[in-house]
Structure 1
Amino acid sequence: MTRKRPLHRAADRLHRGSRLVTARLLQWAVRWCRRGHRGDLTGWRAWLGPALRSATLGAGLAALAWLVHRRPALMWILTGAWALTAWWSGRPPKTPPDDAEDTPDEHPADTELERWKTLLLHLTEDRPGVHLRTVLQHLQPHPDWTGRTVPDLRAHLEALGVPTDPRVKVGGTPTRGVTRAALLTLSPEREETPSPPQRLPA
C-alpha cells in the first residue's frame, strides 16, 4: 500500500475535520430549535418556538454574510478559525490497546458488542433511540467507515446481535434505527460463530 504524503494526510485530516464540524453544527442547530417546542401546547402554537429559533438562526447567518460582504477581510479570520477547528476535530482517533490476545478468557465478539452498545447508548442521549443514519454520520470520519452506507451498518449490527427497528421515532421522524430499550436488554452472550470483529471507532 502506498504511503500517503504529508500534504495528503493533512488534506485528509482537514476534510475529515470539516465534515465532523459541519455535522456537529447541524446537530446543535437542530437540537436548539427543537428545544423551543412547547409540549404543553397543541397545533401551530407548540411549534412557534422552533420556528422563531429557526428564523433567528437564518437571520444570524444573513447578518454574517452581509458583514463579510462589507468587510471581506473578515473572511481570513473566519477561514482561519474554521481551519483550526477542523484540524483539531480531524485528528486521528486514539486506538485503544488490544488486550484480547493477552487475556484468553475474554471473547473478542463480546468485547465488540459491548463497545457498540456503549457507543449507541451514548448517541441516544436522552431520546428513546437513535437512527442508523445518525450513527453512520458519527462513524464516517473514521477510516474504516468512510464511504459505508446505512445497509452496511445495519448488517454489521445485526451480525453482532444488535436488533434494528424500521420505525424508530426520533424528532418526529420514524426510520430505521436502534431503540434504547433494545440496547438495555442486550447481554454479551457469545455466539457459536461470531462475525469477524472490527475495532469500534473512538
Structure 2
Amino acid sequence: MRALPWLAELLKRLGERTGRGAAAIGWRIAAWTLRKGPPKVRIGRLAVAAAAVWAGERVLAHQRLAAALIAIFLVVSYREGAAQATQAAPEPEEWPSADEILLGMVLDLIGDAPGIHLADLLVEVRKAGPDWAGFELPELREMLAAIGCPIRRQLRVGDRTGIPGVHRDDAQAALNRLNHSPDL
C-alpha cells in the first residue's frame, strides 16, 4: 500500500516528460517538413514525411519490430522531455505587463510606418484573441491614455491623413517609460 503513491508519482513524472518530449519531437518534425525553401526541396521533405508514415504503418504490422521501435521512441521522448524540463522558464518578474504587450503590439503593427490609425489598430486588437473581440474605440483610447501613449488627432499614414492615430515615436516613448519606471 505504501508503494502505490510513490509509484503513481513516478508514473506521472514519466508520462509528463515522455509526453512533453513526444510533442517537442512532433513539432520539430512538422517544422522541418513545412519549412520554407525552394519548391523541389519542400516537395522532397513532404515525400520523406509521407514515406516515413508509410514505413511506420508497415512496421506496425510486425509486432516485435513495432514493440522495439515504440520502446525506442518512448526512450527518446523521455530524454527530450527531461532536457526540456531542465530549461529554465522565465520568472514571473520577467514577463511583460499587459501595458508592455499592448505597446509592443502597436509598435509591431506600425513597423516602418510613421504610425497607425486608431481604426486600423482597433481591427488588429480585436484579432488578438476572444477576450479582445468586443473591444471598442473608447476602451482603446482609455487604455492608451492610461499607459501614457498619446493619441494624435491628425496622423498621416500613407495617403490617408487627418485621422486620429498613434505615432511610432509616441508609442516607443511610452514603452521606454514603462520599462524604466521604478517599481512601486
Give the TM-score of the pair, scaled to structure 1: 0.39
Q: Which is higher, the Rg of structure 1 or of structure 2?
A: 2
Would you tell me which structure has more helix in proportion to its own residues?
A: 2
Give the TM-score of the pair, scaled to structure 2: 0.42
